[in-house]
Amino acid sequence: MAVKISLKELLESGAHFGHQTKRWNPKMQEYLYGSQEGVHVFDLTITKEKLDEALSLLTQTTKEGKAILLVCTKKQAKAKAKEVAATTGIYYVTERWLGGTLTNFEQIDKSLRKLKEMKEKMAAKEYSHFTKKERLLLEKEITRLERFFGGLSGLERPPSLMIIVDIRREIGAVKEARKMGIETIGIVDSNTDPTLIDYPIPMNDDASKALEYVLELMQQAIMEGKKKTSKKK
């Protein structure tokens, strides 16, 4: 059963507003309906079509048991992104994107293994003979590693698909995904280059309600894929 997208919800959440007309990328032309008071307006019927394609891909990728990584460091959406990741079990980055996360995955893998080992030792009280100050430093290091790499725990190789919220902000992640040949779904605003993404979703990438609504739809699409997987088993 495909996830239902509501044009009314997209409109009410402000998904149709782009940036000022003077701050635009001409490659976004095909997704725009026009402009209003110096601000570009998206054609939401196209947004809905593109969103539908992206959601179908998410369901299919989940069904095939492939890894998905969600990159969303925007203040107004990262809490929702974390919630989606926790519900669906996908990987996530909601702090700063660290250069080399994909292209130098071996280094990231080392950090992930270090985090796992330190957490296990802390839980087993293997650090109890350390001084209070030393234990405090170890706790700080675990917190730091958790903050930057916690959402990647369990990822043994680069993902098959990435969701990137605001491709202009996350250009580092976009470039690494392209270099590694990883498929991408990206939220593209009127000031971005949609050709950098395999499955662009043209919409406002600043409106928290619009981002939350689309992330909610993505959650539904992934859960739909999980349902199909369990049925198959």
Residue range of the domain that includes 31: 7-95+160-232
What is the CB neighbour count within 10 angstroms for residue 37? 7
What's the rounded Cα separation, in Å, for the pair 166 and 71?
A: 9
Would you state the pLDDT for residue 68? 98
What's the rounded Cα separation, in Å, for the pair 27 and 221?
A: 28
Write down which residue in 87, 119, 151 finishes a domain: 151
Would you state the pLDDT for residue 43? 97
Would you state the pLDDT for residue 2? 81
What's the rounded Cα separation, in Å, for the pair 123 and 137?
A: 16
Residues of the chain with pLDDT under 50: none
Would you state the pLDDT for residue 228? 73
What's the rounded Cα separation, in Å, for the pair 39 and 146?
A: 40
Would you state the pLDDT for residue 158? 92
Statement to judge: residues 54 and 136 lie in one domain: no
Statement to judge: residues 146 and 164 lie in one domain: no
Q: What is the CATH number of the domain that holds 113?
A: 1.10.287
3-class SS at 27?
A: helix
Statement to judge: residues 128 and 169 lie in one domain: no
The answer to whether residue 1 is domain-embedded is no
The answer to whether residue 42 is domain-embedded is yes
Q: In what order do the strands lie in the sheet with 32-36?
A: 17-20, 39-42, 32-36
3-class SS at 171?
A: helix
Would you state the pLDDT for residue 232? 58
Statement to judge: residues 110 and 223 lie in one domain: no
Statement to judge: residues 133 and 81 lie in one domain: no
Would you state the pLDDT for residue 25? 94
Statement to judge: residues 136 and 212 lie in one domain: no
Statement to judge: residues 116 and 189 lie in one domain: no
* Number of domains composing the chain: 2
The answer to whether residue 54 is domain-embedded is yes
